[in-house]
A and B are shown apart, each in its own frame.
Chain A
Amino acid sequence: MEKGRTEKRRTDSEHAEKGRTESTDTGRTEPDRPPRRTTPRRTIPRPLTLSPRHDTPGRRRPGDRHPSGPTPRRPRTLAARTRRENATAWAFISPSVLIILGLSIVPVVWSLLLSFRADDLVTPGRWVGLDNYRALVRDPGFRTAVENTLVYAGLYVPLSLAGGLVLALALNRRIRLIGLYRTLIFVPFVISAAAQGVLFFFILDPQFGVANSLLHHLGVSRQGFLSDPGQALYLLVLISLWSGVGFCVVVYLAALQDVPQELIESARLDGANRLRVLWHIKLPSLTPVTVFLLLWELITALQVFDLIYVTTKGGPLGSTTVIVYFVWEQAFQMFTAGYGAAAAYVLAAALLVAGAALRLYRRRRPDATPDGAVR
C-alpha cells in the first residue's frame, strides 16, 4: 500500500517534469506503473484492456471533441464535423452494441428477476422472493452438483496446468518431429466436446468399447467406466485433459519463447544447471501466464456441460451432475426456470469471486501486470 503510493507520487512528478506531455483529460485515477527504462518500448499495445492511455497522448485526432493540442486545424467546421463524426461512430457501433448489450445486460437482469420467481417459461410465474435460494441450500441434488463441480475443477485445473507446463518444456526445443509432436498434442483441442463425448462414450463402452478390449488383452477384468458411479467423474476429467492440455501447452510455449535469452545464458555462465535455470529463471517468468491459465481453466472447468450431456447425462446416480448441468436440467427439463436461474446466479457468483481473488493476487504481485497482459 505505502509502496504503491510513493511510486505513484514519483511517476506524477516525473510527468510534471516532462512538461505535461501526458494529457490529463482522461481524469484517470489508476496509479501508473513506474516506467521501466530497461525494457524496450512495446510496439503492440496490450489488447483487450482498458488502458488509461486510450490513444497516443498529446496528439490531435481529426474530429476530437476536446483537442488537447493547439488550435484545431479548421476551427469553423469543427463543431459540424464533431457532430458528423459522432453520428458516424454511432452508426459503426450500433449493431454490435445492440446485439452484445441486448443479449447480455438484458438477460443478466432478467435472470436475476427470474431467480426470485417460480417460473416454468410458459405460464406467467409468481414472485417468491428468496425462496429459490433457500431451496437451493437445502437441495441435496444441488449440493451434489456443487461437490461434483468442485472435484472436477480441483482435478482438472491443476492437472492441465502441470501437464501443460511439462509438455511445453519438453516441446520447447528444436529436435526432429517436434512439429508433429506439437500438432498431435494440440489437435484434440479443436475437436468439439460433443464429438469427443460421442467418441469416448464408444471407446469406453463396457461391451463394445476398445478400452475394455485393451484391458482384456492385458488381463484386467471388464470395467464399467462411464456407467460406474465411482469412475465416471474421473474419466470425464481425463477426457477433458486429453483435449484441454493442448491449450495450456500452446500458451506456455508462447510464453517460453519470451523468457529473456540473456538471463538464461548468464545463469549458465554462472554455472547454473538445467534444473536451477528452470527453477530460478523460467518458472518465475511464467508466473503471470500461470495465473492467467489458472483463471481460464477454472472458468472452463466450472462451466463444463457439453461433454457431460453427451456422455453420462449427469448419471450414473447423479455422480457427474455438475452445476451447469443442474441449471440446464432445472430450466429445460423440469421447467423450473426460476430455480435454475438461482443456481446459475450461484455459479456466476462463484466465478466472480474466483476472478476477483485472482485479480487481487495479481495486484499484489510486483512482477505481474495489473491489466491481464501476461507478457
Chain B
Amino acid sequence: MTAPAAVPPGTARPRGTTAPRRPARRRRLPFSAWHLLLAPLSVGFALPLVWLVLSSVMTNAEINRFPPALWPSGIDLGGYDYVLGNAMFPRWFANSSVVAVTAVFSNLLLGSLGGYAFARMRFAGSRLLLGLMLATMVIPFQLTMIPTFLVMKRLGLIDTLGALIVPSLVTPFAVFLFRQFFLALPRELEEAAWIDGCSRLRVLYSVVLPLARPALATVAVLTFLTTWNDLTWPLIAINHDTQYTLQLGLTTFQGQHHNRWSAIMAGNVITVLPVLVAFLFAQKTFIQSLTSSGLKG
C-alpha cells in the first residue's frame, strides 16, 4: 500500500509504545519495512469482507458461472430487493433488535443494581452469593443448554422471544464488572449524598452511575455483541420462523435458497452491518471493553 518512500523521514517517529530511540539516519528503513508485512496482511484480513460486499451486489449470472466474476460489472441490488421484500428478513431483524436491546438495557439496570449491592453493602450471605455467581461464569453453556431448554419449556417460553430474552436479562459478567468498577470509585462521593438522606437507589442513579460511563459502555457493547451474534441458543429455543433471530434466519435462508447467492450475501451484509457500524463508530470503547473484560476476566 504505502511504499517505503511515501513516508517522509522524521514525520512518524517510532516513539512511545516500544519503539526505541535510534539515530535519525537509521530510523527510516526498519520502520517502513513493517508496511511490507502489515499491508498485505491487513488486506488479506479484509478480503473476505470485501468479497462479501461485492458478491451481494452481483447478479446471479455473474456468481453462477465458473470461474465466478471477481468484480461486479455493476451494482445490482436484486439480492437486497429479494431479501427485504420477499423473505422474512425484516421480521428477523426486528426480533434480533428486540432481543439485543432488551438485553442491553436490562443488563445495565440489573447489573448495576446487583454490582452496587455487592460493592457497597454488607448483607447476610453476600460473600457466598458472590462466590456462587463467580463460579457460574466458568460453567460452559453446553452443560446448561439442555436443562435450560427444559426450564424454558416448563415456563412455556419455547418458541417465543421470551426464551431468548430471559436468559440474557442479566449475566454474572455484568454484575461483576459493575461491582469492580464501583469498588474503584471513591466512597466519599457517595457518602455526602448518603448522609444527607438520599436512598441507596437515589445515590446509585444520581451519583454513582453518571461516574460509571466506562462500565456502562463496556457492558452495553459486550452484551450487544454477544446477544446479536448468538446462534446456538436461538437454534435450540426457536422453531417457528416468525420468531427467528437474524443469525438463525440467515443460516436457514442459506439452506433453502442455496442458489440465490447474491440474496444470501445481501442478507449476510444486513446481519453483519449493525455490529460493524457499532464497532466502527465506537472503536475505542469496543477495544477497551474487550481488553478490560478479557484482561481482567
Is A92 part of the binding interface, using a Cβ–Cβ cutoff of 8 Å?
Answer: yes
Q: Within the complex, which residue of B20, B148, B232, B290 is in contact with A250, where a contact is CB–CB below 8 Å?
A: B290
A195 to B201, CA, bound (A): 41
- If A48-B180, A195-B272 touch, whether A103 touches B146 (CB-CB below 8 Å) is no
Is B108 part of the binding interface, using a Cβ–Cβ cutoff of 8 Å?
Answer: no
B1-46 CB contacts (< 8 Å) to partner A: 1-2, 6-7, 12-21, 31-32, 34-35, 37-39, 41-43, 45-46
B39-58 CB contacts (< 8 Å) to partner A: 39, 41-43, 45-46, 48-49, 51-52, 55
Query: Is chain B's binding surface mostly helix, strand, loop or mixed?
Result: helix
Q: Within the complex, which residue of B37, B70, B143, B254 is in contact with A108, where a contact is CB–CB below 8 Å?
A: B143
Is A364 part of the binding interface, using a Cβ–Cβ cutoff of 8 Å?
Answer: no
A274 to B136, CA, bound (A): 44
- If A191-B275, A341-B146 touch, whether A259 touches B231 (CB-CB below 8 Å) is no
In the complex, the answer to whether B236 meets A257 with C-beta atoms within 8 Å is no
B110-143 Cβ-contact flags toward A at 8 Å (1 or 0): 1101101110111110110111111010111111
Q: Across the A-B interface, give the 8 residue pairs with the lowest CB-CB distance, nearest first.
A: A47-B180, A192-B229, A213-B67, A107-B147, A110-B147, A96-B114, A107-B144, A92-B117
| Chain B proximity of A217: nearest CB distance (Å) | 7
B166-181 CB contacts (< 8 Å) to partner A: 166-167, 169-173, 175-177, 179-181
| Chain A proximity of B13: nearest CB distance (Å) | 7
Interface residues in A, total, Cβ within 8 A: 127
Q: Within the complex, which residue of B118, B149, B200, B286 is in contact with A121, where a contact is CB–CB below 8 Å?
A: B149
Is A171 part of the binding interface, using a Cβ–Cβ cutoff of 8 Å?
Answer: yes
Query: Is chain A's binding surface mostly helix, strand, loop or mixed?
Result: helix
Interface residues of A (CB under 8 A from B): 43-50, 54-56, 59, 61-65, 85-86, 88-90, 92-93, 95-97, 99-108, 110-111, 114, 121, 167, 170-178, 180-181, 183-188, 190-195, 197-203, 207-210, 212-214, 216-217, 242, 247, 250-251, 254-257, 259, 261, 264-265, 268, 274, 277, 282, 289, 292, 296, 299, 302-303, 305-306, 309-310, 323-324, 327-328, 331-332, 337, 340-341, 344-345, 347-348, 351-352, 355, 372-375
A289 to B175, CA, bound (A): 24
In the complex, the answer to whether A175 meets B7 with C-beta atoms within 8 Å is yes
| Chain A proximity of B2: nearest CB distance (Å) | 6
Cβ of A88: which chain B residues have Cβ within 8 Å of it? 117, 121, 199-201
